[in-house]
Structure 1
Amino acid sequence: MELSPSQKTSIRYQFEVFCKKVIRGERCDYLRQVLRRAEQEVSFSDMPFDTLLRIGMSDDYPSSHYVFETQGHQISIADERLGEALSQIESAGRNLLLLAYFLDLNDREIGALLGIPRSTIQRRRQRFLDQMKQLLKE
């Protein structure tokens, strides 16, 4: 059975109304989702600086570091001035400073590790530290 032109027009209008309802519903769902997301998101410009530092990243290439080895530990130093100053100090003094300031060993532990009395370690550490200060001042 063939539909009359008025029935075809009526069906077309019903379909258009249905499509408009579906599109309106999808629009409402989308706007609700955007509002929910906006409540949870924070703009980078609104974040505190310390939070940005924690979530930030920087490119770090091993070739730009000074690497020193002491007592089986590899110590990587990124600061160019400090690395250059350490490389100018004799190896015994450099090892002593690396053990004390980068591996956080005290004079007694360093003395036991190197087989040298604690008082000798203290004097040498101070002397090499003074050398480092002079090199860094230049």
Structure 2
Amino acid sequence: MKDLLDFRVVQIFDSFCKTVIRNEARNIKKQYARLRERQISLTELPESALASFQINDTSMENSEVFLALGMELLVANLDVAEAIHQLCEPKRKIILLYYFAGFNDREIGEIIGMSVGGVWYQRRKAEEELRKYLEENSHE
């Protein structure tokens, strides 16, 4: 009797697994069909849409290099680079590490020996200074 019950449980589970897999296969097919309906070839795009895919030149002439923790960080916008130069050294380092090197507040805090809250506060103050500097100098 126990063997018959175990066999029946295995059959039910097998049927359930097959149903789940079949339904997932259907969902994937539907998803691919929706993608095929919405996708178009690049050759079919109008010229105006192709212009948005162009890459801007970020060569060394149009950018400035900052040195932070031995890393050379490229700032492509010269106005932003000038504004970063106006910051004091700790704030400049925090901004460069956060926005241009991809570090988070905790990692920056560990590197420069500051609490996460301190890094966050200094970053916010530096952002305010940058915003103010860029707003003042953009109207000239």
TM-score, normalised via structure 2 length: 0.57
1:47 aligns with 2:29: no
3-state SS of the aligned residue for 2:82?
Answer: helix
Residue 28 of structure 1 aligns with which residue? Answer: none
How many Å separate the matches in 2 of 1:97 and 1:58?
23
> Per-residue CA shift, 1:84-138, capped at 9, x if unaligned?
1011112221110111122222211110111211121111111111111110110
Residue 116 (structure 1) aligns with: 114
Aligned pairs (5 A) from 1:24-63: 47-54=46-53, 56=54, 59-63=57-61
Q: Give the letter for the 1:137 counterpart.
A: E
Larger Rg: 1
Q: Distance in 2 between matches of 1:92 and 1:50?
A: 43
1:64 paired residue number: 62
Q: Does 1:102 align with 2:106?
A: no
Aligned to 1:90: 88
Runs of 4+ residues over 2 Å off in structure 1: 46-54, 56-61
Q: RMSD over aligned Cα, in angstroms?
A: 2.2
Supply the distance in 2 between the matched residues of 1:99 and 1:60 (Cα, whole angstroms). 19
* Corresponding residue to 2:76 among 53, 75, 78: 78
CA deviations over 1:14-67 (Å, ceiling 9, x no partner) = xxxxxxxxxxxxxxxxxxxxxxxxxxxx59xx635343443x455543122111
5+ long unaligned stretches in structure 1 = 1-41
What letter is aligned with 2:76? A
SS of the residue 2:103 aligns to: coil
Q: 1:131 to 1:60 in 2, by over 3 A?
A: closer
